[in-house]
Amino acid sequence: MAGPARSPIAVRPATAADAPAVIDILARAFVADPVMRHLFPDDARRPARLRRFFDLVHRAETDPADTLIAGDATDAAVTVWRKPGSWRTPPAVMLRHAWAMAAIFGLALPRALRVQSLLERHHPTAPHWYLEFAGCVPERHGRGFGGAAIRARLVTADAAGTPTALETANEGNIAIYAALGYRVTGDFAVVPGLRFWTMWRDVVSR
């Protein structure tokens, strides 16, 4: 006999009041990420650095509603999106947050700027929604929260006839994104042992 039907995972746009939850989820989700380990190699200090980093990310985004939160009784996953034509961080934003970036990254700032430069160099230029960050709290992996937060944007992107794009530095994520309709379009190395894969998803007719 089949078990009870699984309730749909609730997904909602973030508001300014959700900043603490967004920062907490992303900081916890990325603590073992290969890029963050490259930028913040000190295991003991990385969690605090990540909180400061994602606080900066959240403040730099222009529309909180482009961040989606998935959860049930508690928030579990977050996706941060940029609208078509807005995937590149404007120089004015970089200048406005220059001191904060220097304080967060310290001596790793040149590494961070190189990563950003490489990402922008390999990024597609055709109009698309850009999945900048996607993260789920570790203890809730495998329960569909991250996928729900991604699919919520894919539905609206498909309805508008707009593709989506992302990059991942975790090879294990490729199959996850492929199941959502993405395909690998290229790859590039940052340093030996650290590689990004660029992925693109065409519009799916529904």
Q: Which top CATH class is 10-201? A: alpha beta
More confident residue, 187 or 75: 187
**pLDDT attached to residue 60:** 86
pLDDT at 122 over 80: yes
pTM of the model: 0.92
Sequence-ordered list of residues with C-beta below 8 angstroms from that of 109, at least 6 positions apart, any chain: 101, 102
Of 41, 43, 79, 36, the closest CA to residue 61 belongs to 79
| 179 contacts: CB under 8 Å, gap ≥ 6 | none
Residue 5 pLDDT > 80, yes or no? no
